[in-house]
């Protein structure tokens, strides 16, 4: 009986390890955006570009993003967890990803129109003096 338990625990640990190794930061970012912004029409190429840019910026720990993608289908039900530290941490990370995407897109430029296609313009960096690429310096 004890050997069966160890075999079962080893198999579960192996599956978790494989899922973690095969997960990617970009996949987790895409999952968050599709879950939280399901009411908007999102440009797929822009989503992929944003996911690559955010993953390259290393603003969110890669381990956390990989855990989100690893749990996969369970992630969609995290809203029903209520109030606990894990759910709060997940929602905080989601809000960081979503708010940066919306600031990086034309969503606010177009007056927050939910009926229009949201396109990714370029990665939003609050440390830049001006995020508008067409702005010119006043003489």
pLDDT tens digits for 6-61? 888 887 777 767 766 666 777 878 888 888 888 888 888 988 888 888 888 877 77
Cβ-Cβ contacts under 8 Å for 25 (sequence gap 6 or more): 51, 54, 55, 60, 62, 65, 66
pLDDT score recorded for residue 86: 66
Measured CA distances, 28 to 46, 93, 133 (Å):
15, 11, 28
pLDDT score recorded for residue 77: 64
Rounded to whole angstroms, how far apart are CA atoms 51 and 19? Answer: 20
Q: Report the chain's mean pLDDT, rounded to a whole number.
A: 77
Residue 131 phi, psi (nearest 5): -85, -10
pLDDT score recorded for residue 73: 66
Q: 3-class DSSP state for residue 42? A: strand
* Cβ neighbourhood burial of 31 (10 Å; 0-12, 13-18, 19+): buried
Rounded to whole angstroms, how far apart are CA atoms 101 and 120? Answer: 8
Confidence category of residue 132, pLDDT binned at 50, 70, 90: low
The answer to which of 26-30, 85-89, 98-102, 130-134 has the lowest mean pLDDT is 130-134
pLDDT score recorded for residue 76: 67
pLDDT score recorded for residue 104: 86
Q: Which residue has the higher pLDDT, 70 or 36?
A: 36
Indicate whether 131 pLDDT > 60: no
Rounded to whole angstroms, how far apart are CA atoms 86 and 129? Answer: 35
């Amino acid at each position: 009986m004890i050997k069966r338990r160890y075999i079962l625990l080893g198999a579960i640990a192996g599956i978790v390890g494989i899922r973690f190794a095969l997960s990617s930061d970009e996949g987790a970012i895409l999952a968050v955006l599709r879950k939280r912004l399901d009411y908007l029409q999102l440009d797929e190429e822009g989503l992929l570009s944003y996911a690559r840019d955010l993953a390259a910026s290393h603003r969110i720990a890669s381990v956390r993003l990989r855990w989100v993608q690893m749990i996969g289908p369970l992630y969609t039900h995290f809203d029903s967890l209520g109030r606990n530290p894990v759910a709060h941490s997940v929602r905080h990370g989601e809000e960081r990803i979503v708010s940066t995407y919306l600031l990086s897109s034309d969503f606010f430029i177009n007056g927050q129109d939910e009926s229009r296609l949201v396109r990714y313009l370029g990665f939003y960096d609050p440390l830049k003096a001006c995020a508008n690429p067409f702005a010119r310096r006043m003489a």
